[in-house]
Amino acid sequence: MNTGKIVRVSGPLVVAEGVPGAKMYDVVRVSDEKLIGEIIELRGEEVSIQVYEETTMIGPGAPVYSTGFPLSVELGPGLLESIYDGIQRPLDVLALQGDRLARGIEVPGLRRDKKWQFNPRISEGTEVEPRDILGVVQETVVVEHRIMAPPGVKGRLTKILAGEFTVEETIAVVETETGPQELTMMQRWPVRRGRPYVEKLSPDRIMTTGQRIIDTFFPIARGGTAAIPGPFGSGKTVVQHQLAKWADADIIVYVGCGERGNEMTDVLTEFPVLHDPRTGEALMKRTVLIANTSDMPVAAREASVYTGITIAEYFRDMGYNVAIMADSTSRWAEALREISGRLEEMPGEEGYPAYR
């Protein structure tokens, strides 16, 4: 790793110098504890880093290690039924290590030891393009995970295997213009870059929410967006919970960004036991939860929405209808304003106060 050193620290913002080859949105490791951070500004020899963990006891002179890669999420079998924090660390795995998240801990988003039954859907010799379905994995009893050719991979399929594999084992080989490329069931994708698409379709159908007052007076288009504004205690979070339970969608991605811990706890305890009327199974069988509560570092709150969107776009590419909920965008914007203030930028119109 390329190494620099810290110049100053201001809450979640760390300014460092001497980081060779630094690029915007590269992931860095801060101090000897290897805290996870991301470069958000380049200014001469100095780089500004937002750190996704507590920076207590971190000071000038501490090392900064650059990885040279952007903040990315792992996409593949194992996403459904998972509960992640804002940067895709599985909270159920971290919970085994104690009630509080240790600093600098790194856990992969997808399990490396679990084997999945891969069933090919195309034969050797077929011409493959990005997003072509190579095969399927029955991830849960209600969702078939479609393994796709990653973006940028195009050529002739020279080898494809059937059987049980981990997400890191080779399942296919494609002969591309630059040579043979081995494919696994896992993809990595930068959270700040939207996944490519062929054509954007205009919404032309109603998404049934299961809430009659919304479906009657405020219908939501499938492929559209909706916001639930309101004061404290007016029931915004409760409505989102109901939409996640009853909306006419194949996959639910629920992002709790800056939500109160007790409200997120309700989601984490309810969803695994909640009966899904569409499938007869637990709702978690087709749900991904991202929990980044208000007591977690503010920078990770900002990243959690991008993480959720990237996961949702991945399932969209498979052909599923995906509903993504973000609760709440006001606290997400609050995180953006705090980072902006730490960078000493001028606030936008109505940018004050940073805290309500």
Q: Do residues 326 and 309 lie in contact, with contact meaning Cβ atoms separated by under 8 Å? A: no
Residue 136 has what pLDDT?
A: 97
Q: How far apart are CA 78 and CA 114, in angstroms?
A: 9
Q: Which CATH number fits domain 4-70: 2.60.120.10, 3.40.50.2300, 2.40.30.20, 3.90.1640.10?
A: 2.40.30.20
Residue 343 has what pLDDT?
A: 81
Residue 349 banded pLDDT, cuts 50, 70, 90: low
The more confidently predicted of residues 56 and 174 is 174
261: helix, coil or strand? helix
What is this structure's pTM? 0.92
Enumerate the CATH 2.40.30.20 domain ranges in the chain, comma separated.
4-70
Among 40, 23, 77, 104, CA closest to 303? 40
Residue 347 has what pLDDT?
A: 67
Residue 316 has what pLDDT?
A: 95
Residue 173 has what pLDDT?
A: 96
Residue 235 has what pLDDT?
A: 85
pLDDT tens across 284-338, in order? 899 999 988 776 777 777 888 999 999 999 999 999 999 999 887 877 877 777 7
Q: Do residues 34 and 53 lie in contact, with contact meaning Cβ atoms separated by under 8 Å? A: no
Enumerate the CATH 3.40.50.300 domain ranges in the chain, comma separated.
72-102+197-338
Q: Does domain 72-102+197-338 have CATH number 3.40.50.300?
A: yes
Q: Do residues 54 and 99 lie in contact, with contact meaning Cβ atoms separated by under 8 Å? A: no
Q: How far apart are CA 207 and CA 60, in angstroms?
A: 52
Cis peptide before 229 (omega within 30 of 0): no
User: How many CA atoms within 13 Å lie on the side-chain side of 266?
Assistant: 10
Strands 287-292, 83-84: pairing is: parallel
Residue 356 has what pLDDT?
A: 42
Write out the two tokens for 234: 């007016």
Percent of the chain at pLDDT > 70 equals 95
Strand order in the sheet with 172-176: 127-128, 155-160, 172-176, 179-183
| Residue 283 DSSP class | G
Mean pLDDT, rounded, for 243-251: 88
Residue with tokens 């709702």: 283
Residue 351 has what pLDDT?
A: 56
Mean pLDDT, rounded, for 276-280: 79
Residue 355 has what pLDDT?
A: 45
Mean pLDDT, rounded, for 255-283: 79
Lowest mean pLDDT among 40-54, 85-99, 137-151: 85-99
Residue 236 has what pLDDT?
A: 83
What's the whole-number average pLDDT of the chain? Answer: 88
270 φ, ψ to 5°? -75, -50
Residue 272 has what pLDDT?
A: 78
Enumerate the CATH 2.40.50.100 domain ranges in the chain, comma separated.
115-185
Residue 333 has what pLDDT?
A: 78
Residue 216 has what pLDDT?
A: 94
302: helix, coil or strand? helix
Please name the CATH architecture into which domain 115-185 falls. Beta Barrel (2.40)
Residue 85 has what pLDDT?
A: 87
